[in-house]
Chains A and B, each alone.
Chain A
């Protein structure tokens, strides 16, 4: 079951996830309560976790946000969590100097590239799990299983360089964790962690995978969904621009004609 989360943990195709979100939330809270009350008899799950907001709204004044992840474990152990953005396909171009100027030449297309990847752990990852387990659960930017979908003939031999460049750029733009965040324990069983989402965070259905680690083994895991979407005026503009490009253009034109005329009226008086 745990391996299942790591391998095929999320399929973003299910459209009705939003509809089920409320039910899942209710389930999660119920579960959490159950586990708190019956901590001594907790036989079902060894770790329960949840987040403060299951929906993060990107509004016009959005400047990034912290996600608070909290939960409890039945007995002392370590907690590792990964925050995954939707998987995307990306093209990586390599610039070469042609006739004195730098232009995009060879290209590699990658699949299964998370649009965002954050990490937090209660102890350094290498102290907790061996390399093959880190690979299996894709814990660490270097452990991401990014697929090469296609490559230009000239780029075939250094696909790895392209992949490294992709990871490096994502880290520089704060989209991939360049250091592991901290999971803090309160006592032996309660834990919390803050994961930072930058203002450039992509939208879509995110997943947080929370692992309980004991003696070099993942003993339990939980997956928490998180939706990040544009909300409000800005989101309406974005959707309208993409769905009705022509009408959007006409409106943009009318606004600029009107504002030019308005500017004339304001300044003519003086």
Chain B
């Protein structure tokens, strides 16, 4: 009886209306759950894992990217509520980043549509992943190994932030919660870069934004995650609307199934995450990011099984 039920559930395929493929619901729930678990564990959105995995299981890349943006909104809302309650969201910083983010993602959508038109979107998505994951994974690995050494030597932590040429830029703003007095150009620029990449890659961009906020802006770690989640909601929401409008790439059904899996996974991951030491956790995340980057690089360099690809233009006349 139970076995039959499990069999039925395993064989339960759902036809995704926008992706136009039939896929096992259980597979999608498992995928959402696994990525949600990791994102809860490490405190990132997990989009950088989800989008490549979706493409791997047969979702067209354009739909994977669009849908993932939509799913990021749901997981970021759930995440930001917790941080908002604890007062860990720097609204001023969030809005400044957002101004840049909206600008960057608008350009990203146009670039996406152009590349899709010329049949090059798949390779650009892959290259964008390899470059960003590789660079950030490497930097984080080096940084967290250094941090681990510091902990061992019981050395004092480094200064909050160094004063550099960055602090000489004009349009200075005061960010009270982050205890910063810096030029608005910097967060706007960072927001724009991350917005551009997240529109093309279908990620929230926390894995890019969080290191940039810590190392480039010098924000205190306590407000970084809440603030980045806050701005990701808006940028991803904006990308969702534009992707639907320009590229018809958002599959609501797929997004809902993934969200169900990921919120449950994120809760479990989050609960385990708080019990583990932060420095080791950061190193694990860095290695995970690096690993995904390397896998995608191999995929890009290896000769494909079929050198020819087919794109349907429409009905013949």
CB distance from B30 to the nearest CB of A (A): 18
Q: Which of B78, B310, B311, B316 contacts A261 (CB 8 A)?
A: B78
Residues from chain A with Cβ under 8 Å of B240 in the complex? 249, 252-253, 256
Nearest to B120 among chain A residues (CB) is A104
CB distance from A262 to the nearest CB of B (A): 8
Residues from chain A with Cβ under 8 Å of B245 in the complex? 245-246, 248-249
Whether B315 and A58, one on each chain, are in contact in the complex, defined by CB atoms closer than 8 angstroms, is no
Whether A63 and B74, one on each chain, are in contact in the complex, defined by CB atoms closer than 8 angstroms, is no
Known: A92-B308, A101-B301. A256 touches B248 (CB 8 A): no
Whether B241 and A93, one on each chain, are in contact in the complex, defined by CB atoms closer than 8 angstroms, is no
Q: Give Cα distance in the complex from A111 to B313, angstroms.
A: 10
Residues from chain B with Cβ under 8 Å of A91 in the complex? 119, 310-311, 313
- B82 located at the interface, meaning its Cβ lies under 8 Å from any Cβ of chain A in the complex: yes
Whether B17 and A102, one on each chain, are in contact in the complex, defined by CB atoms closer than 8 angstroms, is no
Residue from A95, A204, A255, A259 having most chain B Cβ neighbours under 10 A: A259
- B162 located at the interface, meaning its Cβ lies under 8 Å from any Cβ of chain A in the complex: no
Q: Give Cα distance in the complex from A262 to B130, angstroms.
A: 34
Whether A235 and B17, one on each chain, are in contact in the complex, defined by CB atoms closer than 8 angstroms, is yes
Residues from chain B with Cβ under 8 Å of A115 in the complex? 312
Whether A101 and B241, one on each chain, are in contact in the complex, defined by CB atoms closer than 8 angstroms, is no
CB distance from A270 to the nearest CB of B (A): 8
Whether A256 and B70, one on each chain, are in contact in the complex, defined by CB atoms closer than 8 angstroms, is yes
Known: A253-B237, A267-B263. A63 touches B119 (CB 8 A): no
Q: Give Cα distance in the complex from A114 to B76, angstroms.
A: 44
Residues from chain A with Cβ under 8 Å of B304 in the complex? 95, 102
- A13 located at the interface, meaning its Cβ lies under 8 Å from any Cβ of chain B in the complex: yes
Q: Which of B17, B126, B243, B311 contacts A93 (CB 8 A)?
A: B311
Nearest to B11 among chain A residues (CB) is A63
Q: Which of B75, B244, B300, B308 contacts A165 (CB 8 A)?
A: B308
Whether B311 and A252, one on each chain, are in contact in the complex, defined by CB atoms closer than 8 angstroms, is no
Q: Give Cα distance in the complex from A116 to B21, angstroms.
A: 16
- B18 located at the interface, meaning its Cβ lies under 8 Å from any Cβ of chain A in the complex: yes
Known: A237-B18, A256-B77. A90 touches B312 (CB 8 A): yes
Whether B250 and A101, one on each chain, are in contact in the complex, defined by CB atoms closer than 8 angstroms, is no
Whether B123 and A102, one on each chain, are in contact in the complex, defined by CB atoms closer than 8 angstroms, is yes
Q: Give Cα distance in the complex from A88 to B311, angstroms.
A: 11
Residues from chain A with Cβ under 8 Å of B18 in the complex? 237-238, 241
Known: A103-B123, A261-B78. A92 touches B310 (CB 8 A): yes
Residues from chain B with Cβ under 8 Å of A166 in the complex? 308, 310
- B180 located at the interface, meaning its Cβ lies under 8 Å from any Cβ of chain A in the complex: no
Residues from chain A with Cβ under 8 Å of B281 in the complex? none
Whether A237 and B308, one on each chain, are in contact in the complex, defined by CB atoms closer than 8 angstroms, is no
Q: Which of B21, B309, B316 contacts A112 (CB 8 A)?
A: B316
Residue from B73, B126, B256, B303 having most chain A Cβ neighbours under 10 A: B73
Residues from chain B with Cβ under 8 Å of A109 in the complex? 313
Contacting B at CB under 8 A, from A215-270, are 230, 233-235, 237-238, 241-242, 245-246, 248-253, 255-257, 259-261, 263-264, 266-268
Whether A241 and B308, one on each chain, are in contact in the complex, defined by CB atoms closer than 8 angstroms, is no
Residues from chain A with Cβ under 8 Å of B244 in the complex? 241, 245-246, 248-249, 252
Contacting B at CB under 8 A, from A108-145, are 109, 111-113, 115
Q: Give Cα distance in the complex from A53 to B225, angstroms.
A: 56
Residues from chain B with Cβ under 8 Å of A246 in the complex? 241, 244-245
Whether B309 and A60, one on each chain, are in contact in the complex, defined by CB atoms closer than 8 angstroms, is no
Residues from chain B with Cβ under 8 Å of A113 in the complex? 316
Interface string of B276-317 (1 = CB under 8 A from A): 000000000000000000000000110110111111111111
Q: Which of B70, B126, B301 contacts A253 (CB 8 A)?
A: B70
Interface string of B99-112 (1 = CB under 8 A from A): 00000000000000
Nearest to B76 among chain A residues (CB) is A260
A-B contact pairs, 7 of them (CB 8 A): A61-B13, A88-B314, A92-B309, A95-B308, A97-B303, A245-B244, A263-B74
Known A-B contacts: A100-B301, A170-B310, A249-B244. Give 18 more (CB < 8 A). A61-B14, A63-B15, A91-B119, A93-B308, A95-B304, A96-B307, A102-B301, A111-B316, A199-B21, A230-B17, A234-B16, A246-B241, A253-B240, A255-B256, A256-B71, A256-B74, A259-B256, A263-B78
Q: Which residues of A contact B (CB under 8 A)?
A: 12-13, 58-63, 86-97, 100-104, 107, 109, 111-113, 115, 162, 165-166, 168-170, 199-200, 204, 230, 233-235, 237-238, 241-242, 245-246, 248-253, 255-257, 259-261, 263-264, 266-268
